[in-house]
Amino acid sequence: QTGKSASALNAFESELGAQPPLGFFDPLGLLDDADQERFDRLRYVEIKHGRIAQLAFLGNIITRAGVHLPGNIDYAGDSFDSFPNGWAAISGPDAIPGAGFAQIVAFIGALELGVMKDVTGEAEFVGDFRNGALDFGWDSFDEETKLSKRAIELNNGRAAMMGILGLMVHEQLGGELPIVGPM
């Protein structure tokens, strides 16, 4: 943390996510001379990437365990489990057809543009996409519990980002991993 001004360090060291053992950790200096708006934008991106990584990691583990959707993925009769796991499902000789991949990308784009954002302006915090419709008991929690749950989500997202990166690297290296099995 050498070379950073004391004001830049002190500005965000009490924010959610600055917790032991690292505390406030910004090795690339992305928050040097940043304002609250810049911090909120980076936190929004971190939360979104963490949520995606959690889904990706879980999806990778589940499909490698042999659990697939029932039925066929197309009218040609190809079943979901007839496609390989991991990166091979996207690129390779047995990959999902291009039209199917385009549908996946279009669906994700529609979610990104129309659903996964604060549409109503009712967000309590960065990354709150409830939009007044989904609650699941959130409003019944006290402030300390809400802060704890947000910190847990942030940490789980950070761990999942490292986890899916590790799975992707090991998939390219080949071999076998405990629990996950052959890559």
Cα of first residue to Cα of last residue in the chain, in angstroms, is 38
Q: Where are the beta strands (DSSP E) in the chain?
A: 176-177, 181-182
**pLDDT tens per residue, range 143-175:** 999 999 999 999 999 999 999 999 999 888 887
DSSP state of 14: T
Residue 3 has pLDDT above 70, yes or no: no
Q: What is the mean pLDDT of residues 21-35?
A: 86
Residue 61 has pLDDT above 50, yes or no: yes
Query: What pLDDT sits at residue 140?
Result: 92
In sequence order, the 6+-apart residues with CB closer than 8 A to the CB of 167 are 57, 60, 86, 177, 180
* pLDDT over 70 percentage in the chain: 94
Query: What pLDDT sits at residue 57?
Result: 96
Backbone angles phi, psi at 23, to 5 degrees: 70, -145
Tokens at 172, concatenated? 């390219």
Cis peptide preceding 182, ω within 30 of 0: no
This prediction's pTM = 0.84
Query: What pLDDT sits at residue 70?
Result: 93
Q: What is the mean pLDDT of residues 62-81?
A: 90
Query: What pLDDT sits at residue 52?
Result: 95
Cβ neighbours around 60 below 10 Å, total = 19
Tokens 């304002």 sit at which residue?
35
- Burial of 34 (C-beta count, 10 Å sphere; 0-12/13-18/19+): middle
**pLDDT tens per residue, range 76-119:** 888 999 999 888 898 889 999 888 899 999 999 999 898 888 88
Query: What pLDDT sits at residue 9?
Result: 54
Residue 182 pairs in a beta bridge with 176
Residue 79 pairs in a beta bridge with 72
Query: What pLDDT sits at residue 75?
Result: 87
Residue 7 has pLDDT above 80, yes or no: no
Looking at beta carbons, which pairs linking 135-144 to residues 24 or more positions away fall under 8 Å?
A: none
List the alpha helices (DSSP H) in 24-141: 36-64, 98-110
Cβ neighbours around 167 below 10 Å, total = 20
